[in-house]
Amino acid sequence: MTDDFRQLSQKLSPTQPLPSRVASILSQEISSGRLKPGDRLPTEHQIAESLGISRNVVREAISQLRADGLVRARQGAGAFVMEPEERLAIRLDPTDLENIEGMEGLFELRALLEGEAARLAAMRRTDEDLAEISAALEDMRGDEKWSEGSIEADLLFHRTIAKATGNSYIHTFVCFICDQIRRSIHMARYANQIEQLVEVNVGEHVVILDALVAGDPEAARVAMVHHITEAGRRIGIIIRNEQDKTGKGNAES
Amino acid sequence: MTDDFRQLSQKLSPTQPLPSRVASILSQEISSGRLKPGDRLPTEHQIAESLGISRNVVREAISQLRADGLVRARQGAGAFVMEPEERLAIRLDPTDLENIEGMEGLFELRALLEGEAARLAAMRRTDEDLAEISAALEDMRGDEKWSEGSIEADLLFHRTIAKATGNSYIHTFVCFICDQIRRSIHMARYANQIEQLVEVNVGEHVVILDALVAGDPEAARVAMVHHITEAGRRIGIIIRNEQDKTGKGNAES
DNA sequence: ATTATAGGGTTGTAGGACAAATTTGCTTGT
DNA sequence: ACAAGCAAATTTGTCCTACAACCCTATAAT
């Protein structure tokens, strides 16, 4: 066990704070199955000694795992791995988004979710929602070129549609996914090809807004899926066979 | 500030560990807007003194916030609230799921996500996937009545379909939502009416499996949405106008 | 004016001490 | 011999002090 710990502790960049590294080590011990649900973790003293750190750091690490519902600590007894269905946080590994497959998967999920969100929004949007959405669209074309403010307005457009569904969970999830994608785009080298395609981008948003105004759920969904698919294609991401399912094409025959 | 802290600290059940309570306090300070992105948190010493606790507890609390990407601590400078798009964890408030509206919202999201997941799974499922899915279905009808094992098999059925999409993000999200719903059902008083409806439930699953075997995406999606809608209705949850969108009905006129 | 330097303040880590709770094993009474 | 209860050891929870590493600012030197 201590050997495993030492191996893992070197695979993490030393720039990260120590408690986070320890939390990653323990987290991997759990997700890899070396520590199964119900098992007891080594005592804080053992972990501290085995890693050559203070118990304080170990406690901060375990505190993170506890917050995620990964382990449950009982005073006097120890810390125990919880059942998978007890987890109460969802956390994405940033390294998964650095390769192209990860981004493709996230874009596909985004198309699904936001497409359905647009469909619901078309049915339930209030007038205030429409006002907010078109305001975001104005900010988008108002700001010049592809400035920072333009991107922010773009995101606001999508977030507001998700909010217009009236379902706070959909709103939360859409916000989360958008943020992940935005972060990846920012720090990756994606942000080079995208420059003067703003007109196309704005045009796709207009189609979505029109469908929302008209209250046409299916048109809104199709427009949103199309927009996200195209937006992904512009930065080199292809979403595999995301065929529209309006009844035109069948899977078999 | 200290007054706010003291108020909040009493609204949380004293049974929870102290660091988690402090984390909730700080988290609410942020989400409520009293602490805006870019703001610096009070120093650990100030927080500790203001709450009458040790700096150690404060550090564990901040450690949790840091893990969620809510704040970023810089040695020597302080802890700063991060921008919303930097958040790297999504966490649901368990109290939101105790009322009926929260469950309805979550069921709606579940229907959207799993419906689309079933559609993708119908196109991409391998033979192994089908084997796993039907195995779960066998376990479901094999176990008697509505036992614990039967519920577990039911969940496995849904998880495996999500996995068959080949998209790990969809799998992760579906697993997370299913776990939330399961937990709510377990600890709530929902688990009384559901008893001898197993046959109906199994029947709905069979329809889904058939569509997956046939490779019919739209049929799989409709079957999944129908199943989740009915499953919700059985425990008293109605998903508002989740009309099927196969082209039969339009929103306006 | 610009650069160096010194100082105070803040977070990061270490280590010790004790309280609270659980587990285990032993003792003791019947 | 058996059971109940008690005591000790173990483990987490909290507090405390101390120092290192680092940031920021103000002061001083060039």
Query: Is A220:A121 a contact under the CB 8 Å cutoff?
Result: yes
Does residue B19 register a pLDDT over 90?
A: yes
A72 secondary structure, DSSP code: E
DSSP labels, B76-120: TTEEEEPPGGG--EEE--GGGGSSHHHHHHHHHHHHHHHHHHHHH
Q: What's the CA gap between A44 and A46, in Å, rounded?
A: 5
* Backbone torsions φ then ψ of A249, nearest 5 degrees: -120, 145
Minimal-distance CA residue of chain A relative to B216: A251
Residue of A61, A64, A252 with shortest CB distance to B215: A252
A215 vs B contacts (CB less than 8 Å): 251-252
Q: What's the CA gap between B159 and A13, in Å, rounded?
A: 33
* Backbone torsions φ then ψ of A122, nearest 5 degrees: -65, -30
Give the minimum alpha-carbon distance from B2 to chain A in angstroms, rounded to a whole number: 24
The maximal CA–CA distance of chain B, rounded, in angstroms, is 65
Block residue for tokens 């921008």: B83
Crossing angle of the two packed helices B18-31 and A55-67, in degrees rounded to 10: 60
| Nucleotide minimizing C1' to CA distance for residue A66 | D12
Of the candidates A53, A47, A82, A52, the residue with the CA atom closest to the CA atom of residue A67: A82
pLDDT tens digit at each of 253 positions of chain A: 444 444 344 444 567 788 999 999 999 999 888 999 999 999 999 999 999 999 999 999 999 999 999 999 999 999 999 987 777 888 877 777 778 888 899 999 999 999 999 999 999 999 999 999 999 888 877 656 556 667 778 888 999 999 999 999 999 999 899 888 877 776 655 555 555 566 777 889 999 999 999 999 999 999 999 999 988 888 778 877 555 544 433 434 3
Contact state of A247 with B252 under an 8 Å Cβ cutoff: no
Contact state of A245 with B91 under an 8 Å Cβ cutoff: no
Residue of B19, B116, B252 with shortest CB distance to A116: B116
Amino acid in the structure at residue B55: R
pLDDT at residue number A188: 56
Query: Is A118:A212 a contact under the CB 8 Å cutoff?
Result: yes
Q: What is the total residue count of chain B?
A: 253
Residues with CB under 7 A from strand D: A 41, 43-45, 55-56, 59, 62, 73-79; B 17-19, 52-57, 74-77
Crossing angle of the two packed helices A127-142 and A148-164, in degrees rounded to 10: 170
The alpha carbons of chain B give a radius of gyration, in whole angstroms, of 23
Tens of pLDDT, residues B124-170: 999 999 999 999 888 877 656 556 667 778 888 999 999 999 999 99
Give the minimum alpha-carbon distance from B90 to chain A in angstroms, rounded to a whole number: 5
Contact state of B250 with A216 under an 8 Å Cβ cutoff: yes
Rounded to the nearest 10°, the torsion over CA A94, A99, A101, A103 is: 50
* Backbone torsions φ then ψ of B171, nearest 5 degrees: -60, -50
Give the distance, in angstroms, between residue B80 CA and nucleotide D29 C1': 35
Q: What's the CA gap between B130 and B137, in Å, rounded?
A: 11
Tens of pLDDT, residues A87-105: 788 887 777 777 888 889 9
Structure tokens at B234: 């059985």
Structure tokens at A91: 């956390």
Query: Is A113:B113 a contact under the CB 8 Å cutoff?
Result: yes
Residue of B96, B116, B246 with shortest CB distance to A112: B116
Contact state of B90 with A176 under an 8 Å Cβ cutoff: yes
* Backbone torsions φ then ψ of B114, nearest 5 degrees: -70, -30
Contact state of A67 with B66 under an 8 Å Cβ cutoff: no
* Backbone torsions φ then ψ of A237, nearest 5 degrees: -110, 125
CB pairs under 8 A between A and B: 156
Which neighbouring-strand residues pair with B72?
A: B80
Range among A89-93, A146-150, B117-121, B228-232 rated most confident:
B117-121
B54 touches strand C (CB under 7 A): no
Amino acid in the structure at residue B181: I
Query: Is B56:B12 a contact under the CB 8 Å cutoff?
Result: no
Q: What's the CA gap between B241 and B243, in Å, rounded?
A: 5
Give the minimum alpha-carbon distance from A94 to chain B in angstroms, rounded to a whole number: 8
The helix or strand, by DSSP H or E, that contains position B151, with its residue range, turns out to be helix B148-164
